[in-house]
Amino acid sequence: MVKKNSVIILLVSVLLLILAGCQGNNRVSIYYTASLYGNLDGCTCKSRPRAGLVKRARYLKDNMDKGNILLVDGGDVLLDTPDEDLSIQILEAYKDLGYAAIGVGINELANGIDFLLKLREAFPYISNNITVTIGEPEPFTREPLLVKSGECNIGIFSLFDPGLLTDPRVAALKKIKITPLEQSARDCLSNLKERKADLTVLLFFGLHEDLVDLLDKVKGIDLVVLAFEQSLIESERIGDTVIYSPGEEGNRLGMVDVTLNNGAPNEYANSFVLFSYFNDPDDPVVRTRIKKYEMQMRERLINKQMETLEKGEPQ
């Protein structure tokens, strides 16, 4: 009986420690990316240089301790035209790298909600203000994420800017409803407060001006990763919130160290790594994925040519 009581006391103590979050001084490292735009590989384009995921993956594998670093992406990981083979190769690489959350962007929606729902089952896509209206309406993501980093509880949620609904790639999509930003943000923050989040991270896909308007109305968001406009923001403060954006074409990895004192963030240190298609080494696993995708493309082209010949259509 004494032994049983001791086990119960130990379990309760562990549970209380988990719920307590981080005490004293702690540091949380968050690595963030956005706007890959389907660039599994890079290119030598001088006007729009792209390093590709093949370079970023090598750096992350060489330098990232998955147990102590939180890895997130703001959205637009995929191409804005449907390509299931490419999407799967990219997202499998993201899973291998240990991404905790990927925001839903316009490019994900442009691939169709049915395909996006399939991706959600296998990969960490989140959006807390998109409701899927196929059949019985259901939220794309039911509640914010709460993940552990060291001793600290990190809350993550993602919002899609309704201001982008005029974009034809979204307007053509009739199977979703987007809840207003202020309402969604307040709901997510309330949820995370109840669950004892020490740090709140918002993946915001939308216009900078709409984000600033949201932050003027809603307090309690500690850190924002901004995606869509592909602007480079090294650090911008709106009240107690810090905004970061890694820029264009997925070429940068942002890295921010957050110092927390008794569960409250009080210091941020941000830096970027800019990848080069020419100078940085490949990740061999992603390079293999690129070769596999090239084979899939060739196979699709051959099949299409065969179908055209069978129908007697001119090529």
Residue type for position 133: T
CA 260 to chain CA centroid, Å, is 23
pLDDT (mean) for 156-168: 93
Output the pTM of the full model.
Answer: 0.90
What are the beta bridge partners of residue 150?
A: none
Residue 6: the pLDDT is: 53
CA 176 to chain CA centroid, Å, is 20
- Chain mean pLDDT for the chain: 90
Residue 12: the pLDDT is: 42
Q: Which of 85, 178, 110, 93 is nearest to 102 (CA)?
A: 93
Q: Report residue 72: phi and psi, to 5°.
A: -135, 160
Three-class SS of the chain: CHHHHHHHHHHHHHHHHHHHCCCCEEEEEEEEECCCCCCCCCECCCCCCECCHHHHHHHHHHHCCCCCEEEEECCCCCCCCCCHHHHHHHHHHHHHHCCCEEECCHHHHHCCHHHHHHHHHHCCEECCCEEECCCCCEECCCCCEEEEECCEEEEEEEEECHHHCCCHHHHCCCCEEECCHHHHHHHHHHHHHHCCCCEEEEEEEECHHHHHHHHHHCCCCCEEEEEECCCEEEEEEECCEEEEEECCCCCEEEEEEEEEECCEEEEEEEEEEECCCCCCCCCHHHHHHHHHHHHHHHHHHHHHHHHHHHHCCCC
Specify the length of the chain in residues. 315
Q: Which of 75, 135, 84, 139 is nearest to 108 (CA)?
A: 75
Residue 22: the pLDDT is: 78
- 232-266 pLDDT tens trace: 999 999 999 999 999 999 999 999 999 999 878 98
Q: Could you tell me the domains of the chain?
A: 25-311 (3.60.21.10)
Residue 1: the pLDDT is: 53
- 70-89 pLDDT tens trace: 999 999 999 999 899 999 99
Contact present, 277 and 256 (Cβ < 8 Å): no
- 201-222 pLDDT tens trace: 999 999 999 999 999 999 999 9
CA 58 to chain CA centroid, Å, is 19
- Calpha distance 205→218 (Å, rounded): 17
Residue 197: the pLDDT is: 97
Q: Which of 133, 97, 83 is nearest to 113 (CA)?
A: 133
